Amino acid sequence: MKRLRPLLGTYVEIGCEGGTKRQQALACEAAFAAIAEVQRLLSFHDRCSDLGRLNRSGGDWVPLDPLSLRVLHLARRLMEQSGAAFNCLVGGSLVATGDLPRLHRGRVLVAGVPADLELGEDRARLRRPVQVTLDGIAKGFAVDQGIKMLRRFRVPGGWINAGGDLRTFGPTGCPLLRREATGAIGALGRLRDAACATSTVRTARDQRFPGRIVDPSGRALPGGGTHSVLARHAWLADALTKVAAVSPPERRAAAVAALGGRYLPEPAPILEEVA
């Protein structure tokens, strides 16, 4: 059984394999609700979300939901461990280019350093006028929260695909394909109990695919490319595609592996023949 709904600015598909129909329906509903909760807390576009309030705070302490703090911790730690190849504080540069809305009235810095984000027990504050963007991690985190729900309802297997960030669990897994920037589709393999995320660096704006990756200092990345990463959790796969995108080609696989993921090579064309 599968369902598709608009969420997180994209289309989110939830699939359940095994279990009773009622179990699947309840699990699915609960998983969508968990994903909607992540959206409610962490949407950059919503000035009343936890993220919106933090970005508008002008340096004051802002009380935050434990879930929001968990994601901020994950983001900041990955920023430190990746030498800022993953940078959740480049919101300012995306505001400057119009890719994200302007929430803070004063001047904002195009990028920041981990020390700019101070995290307390149940609150956080910005020590300089940076803008936090969790675009590179929140979608994956939402997928993980959804999978947690499906498991909690004891669904034996399934998947969640949030606009191309996906995770599967259970014995079967699923065939994994990748969409290239050209629209061509290639086969990556069969995915089991793992997450896969793909990011595309585009040379020209495309309204259908509004996401944008910039380098750690907030500058546009040259050239194009499609990068896929495998990880145990969707939040990490999502985040590591950004690390892959900003790393030079010869260092990509190593950079991703050092942080717990696997950089996937070019997919095979879909005409995979039987042995």
Partner 1 sequence: MLRANHAWELAALTPLSVLVAPAGAADYLTIEEAQAVLVPSADTFEPHPLTLTKDQRKAIKRLAGTRQRRAEQLAWRARRAGETIGWVLLDDVVGKHEFITYAVALSPAGRVLGVEILSYRETHGGEVRDAAWRAVFKGKTIEDPFVLDEDVPNLSGATLSSRNLTNGVKRLLALQRVALPRD
Give, as ranges, the residues between 200 and 219 that touch partner 1 (CB under 8 A): 200, 202, 207-211
CB nearer to partner 1: pick between 50 and 238: 238
Contacts for 96 with CB less than 8 Å, ≥ 6 apart: 108, 110, 218
d(CA 83, CA 243): 10
Cβ pair 200, 178 in contact under 8 A: no
Cβ pair 94, 214 in contact under 8 A: yes
The helix (run of H) or strand (run of E) holding residue 32 is helix 21-42
Using rule CB under 8 A, residue 230 touches partner 1: yes
Min dist CB 233 to partner 1, Å, is 10
261 residue type, one letter: G
Which of 4, 33, 48, 220 contacts partner 1 by CB under 8 A? 4
Min dist CB 105 to partner 1, Å, is 26
CB nearer to partner 1: pick between 25 and 113: 25
Using rule CB under 8 A, residue 264 touches partner 1: yes
Min dist CB 64 to partner 1, Å, is 22
Which of 103, 108, 138, 197 contacts partner 1 by CB under 8 A? 197
Using rule CB under 8 A, residue 254 touches partner 1: no
Min dist CB 192 to partner 1, Å, is 6
d(CA 140, CA 236): 7
Which of 115, 205, 257, 266 contacts partner 1 by CB under 8 A? 257
Token representation of residue 50? 């936890």
- Structure letter (DSSP) for residue 221: P
Min dist CB 221 to partner 1, Å, is 14
**Hey, which residues between 88 and 147 contact partner 1 (CB under 8 A)?**
139
What distance separates the 2 farthest-apart alpha carbons in the chain? Answer: 62
255 residue type, one letter: A
Min dist CB 109 to partner 1, Å, is 26
CB nearer to partner 1: pick between 108 and 237: 237
CB nearer to partner 1: pick between 104 and 200: 200
d(CA 107, CA 97): 14
Cβ pair 180, 227 in contact under 8 A: no
- Structure letter (DSSP) for residue 118: E
Cβ pair 93, 219 in contact under 8 A: yes
Tell me, residue by residue from 10 to 49, as one string, x for binding to partner 1 by CB under 8 A and - for no binding: xx-x-x----------------------------------
**Hey, which residues between 151 and 190 contact partner 1 (CB under 8 A)?**
159, 161-166, 168, 172, 174-185, 187-190
**Hey, which residues between 49 and 78 contact partner 1 (CB under 8 A)?**
78
